[in-house]
Every structure is written in structure tokens, then in C-alpha cells.
Chains A and B, each alone.
Chain A
Amino acid sequence: MFDFITFIPRAVVQGIPLLLGSTGETLTEKSGNLNLGIPGIMYVGGICGVIGSFFYEAGKTAQDMNPALAILIPVLCCLLGSFLMGLLYCFLTVTLRANQNVTGLALTTFGVGFGNFFGGSLIKLSGSELPSIILTNTSNIFRRNLPFAESLGTVGKLFFSYGFLAYVAVLIALVCSYILNHTRTGLHLRAVGESPNTADAAGINVTRYKYAATCIGAMIAGLGGLYYVMDYASGMWSNNAFGDRGWLAIALVIFTIWRPNVGVLASFLFGGLYILHMYIPSGMNLAVKELYKMAPYVVTIIVLVITSMRNKREDQPPASLGLAYFREER
């Protein structure tokens, strides 16, 4: 019998980094920027948080640590790092009008390299004597769940057994969805993504909206990297462990047809698909597990094809996605 009670919480934990990544990317894409640098940004977000808490945790025992600081320092470092990456992307694509695909891929190369380099040599560079980066104390604070979760049995396990960042992620997705669809700011942002010429003519500051959406989007995505290291991986950084989750987050944006609120459940579904191969009884045939890992991508392709075939106006990508805006160009 398929064990849903253990499967679902693990799927959720897998889904949260994807949710944060895709919420950030949705926000970015709504402004017309196709940021393929998201995988790199998530790495940078993760490693910046690790660097922050590495120096805070160094030489302290669990009792010495102030929980508020232990959370605040990595989160701020992570936000700062991913903000700078978003800013760099914006500077190149919005101000200098560079090609978005190329810039994004360069950003991913840089970000993944940055993460792996500091992850692999932080100890050597700081001259510390620890064998590897294991931030157990910080991670324990990040993973602390609600006190009554244990006593609620199955319900507690399904809904209350996660670290605080998981709830923050869901909240961010819902808030983003609300802002995009029910506020004037969101309307302006969507206008910028659909037709920057029209938006500009209506007096909307296109550059400002693009910058704001992309930088905030990058910060949200960076949190996904932080959640992965601190919560999912229990504070242990290992190079390339984050894997292709960044691309999966971009896939999720398409899967949810640019709707962050749909993303909440869709990300858990993706998380489930991502770990499905561990739960499918395949006996001795290990090869089949590799095929199950394809599932999220195949599902995304199917959604992509179906949305383009149905050709409904509200299901399309933002019309100016991937194009730089230059006012003097017609």
C-alpha cells in the first residue's frame, strides 16, 4: 500500500524550494523578463545564507546562539546576495538591453560556480578547522516546528510539521497572486509585461517596474535556495546537491500558467513527482527509477503544448516576454 502519510510531507518539503523559485520567476516574467538565471540565483541565495550563518555559528554552542539572530543573519545575507544577482540581471537586460537568454544563462553559470566555489572552499579560505560545513545548530532553529504538531497525530504531520520558511513560502505565493491580480501595482506590472509601449504611454515607469519585479523575484527565489540548505538538507552544504531544481522551478512557472496561487499545490505535486521514484516499488529494476525522474519535465511539456493548442488569451505567457524595451524603437 502506498504510504501517503509519509509521502506527502516529503513531497511538500521537496516542493517548497520549487514554490519559492517559481513564485519569484513568475513575478519576474510578468514584467517581461525571462530570467533563466534563476538556478544560479537560488545557488547564490543558498550559499550567501550559509556564509552568513557559518561566521555566526563559528565557535558558538547551541546555547550561545540567539535564535532571532541565527535566523535573521542567514536570511538577510541570502536576500542581499540574490538581490545583487537580480540587480545585475536587470542592469544588463533593462538598462543595457542585452539579450535575456544569454544574460540569464551567464548568470546561471556564474551563480552555480559561485555557490560551488564558496561551498567547497569556504573552510579553506576562512582558515577554520572544521572538517565540512554542517550548520546543525542554525538548521535546528530553521526546522523548529510548532510545539503542538507532535500531539496532533496525522493532521499535525501533514500540516504542521514544517519549518517556518515553508509557511512563509506559501504566504509569499498567495500575496504575490493577490498583488498581481487585485491591485493597481499588479495591473501596471502585467501591462509592462504584455506591452511596454502601451504601459509607457499610459505613464507607467517601465524601467522601475521591471527592476522592482525582477529584484524582488530574485530575492524570493534566493529564499528557495536558503530553504533547501537550512531545512531540507539540515544545514549541510554539498556541492551540486541542489541539482536541477532551479530549472524545475522555471518549468513550474509554465505548469501553473503564470499563477503563483496555483503554484502552491502544483509545487507539492512537482515535489511528489520528483521523489516518486523512491516510492514506486520497482523491485530490482533500478533503471525504471531513472525514467520516473522524467515525470515533472514531461508533465510540463504536455502543459506547454496544451496551453498553446487551446490558445486561450489568459493562459499565454506575457506577450513581451524575452524582449528588451527601447522607447525609441517602433
Chain B
Amino acid sequence: MNKNDRAPLFHVAKRGALPWYQAWAIRGAALILALILCGIITSLVTKLNPLSVYAAIWKGSFGTSRKFWVLLQNIAMLLCVSLAVTPAFRMRCWNLGAEGQALIGALASAACMILLANKLPNWAVIVCMTVSSVVAGAIWAGIPAFFKAKWNTNETLFTLMMNYVATQLVAYYCVVWESPKGSATIGIINSKTEIGWFPVLGGQKYLLNILIVAVVCVAMFVYLRYSKHGYEIAVVGESERTARYVGIKVERVIIRTMLLSGAVCGLAGLLLVGGTNHTLTPTIVDGRGFTAVMVSWLAKFNPVWMIFTSFLLVFLGRGAGEITTNFGLNHSFGDILTGIILFFIIGSEFFINYQIKLTRKGRKEE
């Protein structure tokens, strides 16, 4: 038989839009498969039965009320950064610099707390922190956006590099403002006066952060779905040429959207410094800028679904943390589990967007 006669067994075709429940059924199936695999791996490593592994994961988030609040706080922070990157992603502008933008926001608010303490009343310090961190985040995203709009500089790589510039800048100020001397860390800022600390609502120190992020989430949903700006972003994302043809100023949309993206990242930095940590370290954002990319993408850039996907990642991370503390394993075990789950969900997108058609065998005989 001639080699060229061989027809492939199947061919791959693009699918029309699936109904949302089918798409989520596929993702759910991938998630369950991933969880099963994670359970197997964990029980191989810890020699536990898989059920108690899942029980431990559950307890990591819902075991005590404190753990539950930590879970909510972590979801809120991850969600905030994810919301920030989303408008840029919808425009197909890969802002991988959320880490740096949030860090710069954190730096700006820490700077206000340190430098303005005892010079301005507390409320004024908090206003300064808010304004400066939002502006700082916006500037940090605006630099790559300007070059992208003007000279089409690759924004993925540019924003990526900006992360490390921000990290080193924060490291620099950590040494400049170090207390106690020689520790190269800042420690808790204004621990006696509590200047610049956000007010505690209802006895829960995380509550205010969570409420703020909830408001941002709704606002972002409305902005992307119902505003003219949101529509322009969607058009630029689908096709720059179409956007130009209908008279959208693409450069302006790019810069405006990236500024917004950076501003929300800066807000995330503010919430971290002013709301919870009250300190500044080069690792304060804790990789959320990168996790946010996955959260946003998994939710198909939809702010409401993002609540769910960020819950999923935080929940798993905390569950894995519980396992590692219980069994004296290395903390990085959680990253392995997160990685496995991401691979499965990333892979499952294929089955949502494409279908595999078996070719008719009859054709081979022709």
C-alpha cells in the first residue's frame, strides 16, 4: 500500500460555541480527574488513605473560623489582582506585570505611612496612601503601555521585566527604611500609633478588604459588560483592524486600559499594606501577579466566574498547606498540586473549543 493513501484516523475541527453548562461540565470533569490524581499522588507520598487527604484539604480552609477568614482574605487579594489584569487580557494585551504593579502600589502606600505619620491626621494619610498607590500602579503599567501603543513593543516581555525592577526598588527601600537597624526589613509600620492602618469593621480585620474587592468586582463586571470602554476593549481584542476601521483610537484604548489595569493592581498593593500586613517586603504580593493570569484565563476573563476560580486556587493552596504542616512535608507540595490541576484545566479547554471527528473508513478504499 502506498504511504500516501493512509488517511488519518480522526481530524480536529473547531466547534461552535458550546452551551455554558456543557463547557462547565467539561471543566468540572477535568477538575475531578485532577483531584483524583492529586489524591493518589498525595497518598503515595504521605502513605495516607486518599479520603483523609481530602478531609485535610477541606480542613485547611474550613477547619476553624480563623482559617475561614484567612481563606476569604486570600481569595479577595487574588481576585483583586485578577480583576486588574482582566481588562488588558480582554484586549489581548498580556500584562504579566501585575506582580510589579501591585508591589509598586504597596511601596507607595508604605511610603505614605512612614513619611507622613505624625505630620498629617490619620484620615489624610489614608487618602494619600490610596491616591499614591493607585497612581503608582497606573504609572508602572503605563510605561509598557506607552511603548506598546507607540512602537508596538512586546508588552508580555516588557511587563515581565518591570516586575523585577519593582522588586529591587522595594528591596532598596526596605533597606533605607529598615527598622530595627541592620535587619534589612521594615517590620510593622506605625505599630504603636496605627497611623495609616485601615479601620477594622465588625471586629474582623479582613472584612473591609473583602468588601472593597467585592465592590471592585461588581464595578469591573459592569465596566467590561455595559460601558462603551468595555465594548471598545472587546473590539480591539477581537481585531485591531476592525477597531481602527470603526474609528476606535486603538493607541488610546491600549494606554487607557493598561492604566486601569495598573491602577487596580496598585489598589491591591494598598490593601495588602494598609489593610492586613502593615509592612512591606519584596515578596508581599506572593506570586499573585502570576497566579492571577491563570485565574483570569480560567474564568474566560469574566469577573463573576473569577470569584469561583480564585476560590478554587486559594482553597487548594490552603488545603495543600494543611497537608504539608500535618505531615511535615515541604511547603512547596502545594505548588505541585496546583500545577497538576492547572494542567488538567488548561488541557480541558481543547475539548471545549474543538471536536474530534472520526474520519470515515470508507474513504481509504477509493
Interface residues of A (CB under 8 A from B): 34, 36, 88, 91-92, 95-99, 101-103, 105-117, 119-121, 124-125, 239, 244, 247, 250-251, 254, 286-288, 290-291, 293-294, 297-298, 300-301, 304-305, 308-309, 311, 317, 322, 326, 328-329
Decide: B14 and A326 in contact? CB cutoff 8 A.
yes
The answer to whether A120 touches B332, judged by C-beta atoms less than 8 angstroms apart, is: yes
A298 partner residues in chain B, CB cutoff 8 A? 165
- Is B343 part of the contact surface with A, judged by Cβ < 8 Å? yes
| A321 nearest in chain B by CB position | B154
B residues near A, CB below 8 A? 12-14, 45, 94, 96, 147, 151-154, 156-158, 160-165, 168-169, 171-176, 184, 287, 290-291, 293-294, 297, 328-336, 338-340, 342-343, 346-347, 349-350, 353-354
Inside 8 A of A250's CB, which chain B residues have their CB? 157, 160
Q: Quick one: which of A36, A98, A107, A115 contacts B347, CB cutoff 8 A? A: A98
When the two chains form their complex, are residues B330 and A287 in contact, meaning their CB atoms are under 8 A apart? no
Least Cβ distance of B168 to chain A in Å?
4
Using known A-B contacts A105-B294, A117-B332, A328-B14, determine if residue A300 contacts B353 with beta carbons closer than 8 Å.
Answer: no
- B332 in contact with A101 (CB, 8 Å): no
Partner of A108, one of B13, B45, B290, B330: B290
Residues of B within 8 A of A105 (CB): 96, 290, 293-294
Complex Cα–Cα for A81 and B94 (A) = 29
- A99: chain B residues within 8 A (beta carbon): 297, 346, 349
Closest to A310 in B: B151
| Contact residues of B: prevailing secondary structure | helix
Among B161, B331, B349, B353, the residue within 8 A (CB) of A301 is: B161
CB <8 Å contact, B346 and A113 = no
* A308 close to B45 (CB less than 8 A): no
| Given A96-B350, A109-B342, A329-B14, also A290-B153 (CB < 8 A) | no
Which of A108, A119, A286, A294 is within 8 Å of B169, CB to CB? A294
- Known contacts: A103-B346, A110-B336, A116-B335. The answer to whether A304 contacts B354 by CB under 8 A is no
Cβ of A117 and Cβ of B336 under 8 Å apart?
yes
Q: Is the CB of B349 within 8 A of A96?
A: yes
Q: Tell whether A290 pairs with B172 under 8 Å between CB atoms, given A98-B350, A112-B332, A328-B14.
A: yes
* CB proximity of A240 to chain B, nearest CB, Å: 9
Known: A97-B354, A304-B157, A328-B13. A311 touches B340 (CB 8 A): no
Bound form: Cα–Cα A112–B287 in Å: 12
On whether the beta carbons of B354 and A287 are closer than 8 Å, the reply is no
* Contact of B343 with A110 in the complex, beta carbons under 8 Å: yes
Query: How long is the Cα–Cα vector from A243 to B185 in the complex, in angstroms?
Result: 19
Contact A97 B350 (CB under 8 A): yes
Least CB distance from B336 to A in Å reads 4
Interface majority SS (helix, strand, loop, mixed), chain A: helix
Do B154 and A286 have beta carbons less than 8 Å apart?
A: no
A305 touches B339 (CB 8 A): no
Nearest first, the 8 closest Cβ-Cβ pairs linking A and B are A113-B335, A110-B339, A120-B330, A116-B332, A287-B175, A96-B350, A106-B342, A308-B153
Q: Given A98-B347, A301-B161, is A290 in contact with B175 using a C-beta cutoff of 8 Å?
A: yes
| Minimal Cβ-Cβ distance residue in A for B173 | A287
Q: How far is the CA of A303 from the CA of B86 in the complex (A)?
A: 28
Q: 29 A-B residue contacts at CB 8 Å?
A: A97-B353, A98-B347, A98-B350, A101-B293, A103-B343, A106-B339, A109-B290, A109-B291, A110-B335, A110-B340, A111-B339, A112-B332, A113-B332, A117-B329, A117-B332, A121-B330, A124-B329, A254-B157, A287-B173, A288-B172, A297-B164, A301-B161, A301-B162, A301-B165, A305-B153, A305-B158, A308-B147, A309-B151, A328-B14
CB-based contact A297/B165 at 8 Å: yes
Is the Cβ of B153 less than 8 Å from the Cβ of A304? Answer: yes
Closest to A295 in B: B168
Contact across chains for A113 and B334 when beta carbons are under 8 A apart: yes
The answer for the CA separation of A297 and B168 in the assembled complex, in Å, is: 10
- Which residue on chain B has the smallest CB distance to residue A106? B342
CB of B151 within 8 A of CB of A305, answer yes
A244: chain B residues at CB < 8 Å are 164
Q: Please determine whether A287 and B346 come into contact, CB atoms closer than 8 angstroms.
A: no
Chain A nearest CB, measured from B105 CB (Å): 18
Given known contacts A294-B168, A309-B151, A326-B14, A113 and B161 CB-to-CB distance under 8 angstroms: no
Q: How far is the CA of A108 from the CA of B339 in the complex (A)?
A: 8
Contacts of B14 in A (CB 8 A): 326, 328-329
Known: A97-B350, A101-B156. A114 touches B162 (CB 8 A): no
Alpha-carbon gap, A294 to B162, bound state (A): 10
Chain B nearest CB, measured from A23 CB (Å) = 17
Known pairs A97-B354, A286-B175, A297-B164; list 19 more (Cβ under 8 Å): A88-B343, A92-B343, A98-B350, A106-B294, A106-B339, A106-B343, A109-B335, A109-B339, A112-B332, A116-B335, A117-B332, A117-B335, A121-B329, A251-B157, A251-B160, A293-B168, A305-B147, A309-B151, A328-B13
B330 lies within 8 A of A102 (CB): no
Residue of B45, B158, B333, B336 most packed against chain A (CB within 10 A): B336
Q: Could you tell me the distance between the alpha carbons of A88 and B343 in the complex, rounded to whole angstroms?
A: 9
In whole Å, how far is B310's beta carbon from the nearest beta carbon of chain A? 15
Q: Which residues of B contact A297 (CB under 8 A)?
A: 161-162, 164-165, 168
